[in-house]
Amino acid sequence: MAQAKHYDAILGPVITEKSTLLSESGQVVFKVPLTATKKDIAEAVETLFKVKVKAVNTLRVKGKTKRFRGIEGRRSDIKKAVVTLEEGHSIDVTTGL
């Protein structure tokens, strides 16, 4: 059974042109908390989606500094996880959990 920590390890899918191209080669991109480890992410994906995970690659995206009406602000830092699935497994991120 999926525990609360599994739902906390994955914030949501990243749906962009690049992530859609990756899905054709058996990879799925998720937005995850900055504190999540590769082991946590792999465990969560396997339990929630009932698939086998081959590898997890993570990257931290630094938030951009933006200006709105002369006032400077900063976007939040985010962490993305590129999850490679075993052969024959797939996840349809458009349907949700």
Query: Can you name the residues that pair with 55 across neighbouring β-strands?
Result: 84
Q: How does pLDDT run across 12-63, given as a tens digit for each residue?
A: 899 999 998 998 888 999 999 999 999 999 999 989 888 899 999 999 999 9
Domain coverage including residue 54: 4-85
Q: What whole-number distance in Å separates Cα of residue 32 and Cα of residue 80?
A: 6
The answer as to whether 11 is a domain residue is yes
- When divided into structural domains, the chain yields a total of 1
**Long-range CB contacts (< 8 A, 24+ apart) of 22-25?**
22/82, 23/90, 23/93
The CATH number given to whatever domain includes residue 36 is 3.30.70.330
97 found inside a domain: no
User: Are the beta carbons of 42 and 57 closer than 8 angstroms?
Assistant: no
For 75-91, how does the pLDDT look when each residue is reduced to its tens digit (9 = 90+)?
A: 999 999 999 998 888 78
Burial class (CB in 10 A: 0-12, 13-18, 19+), 10: buried
92 located within any domain: no
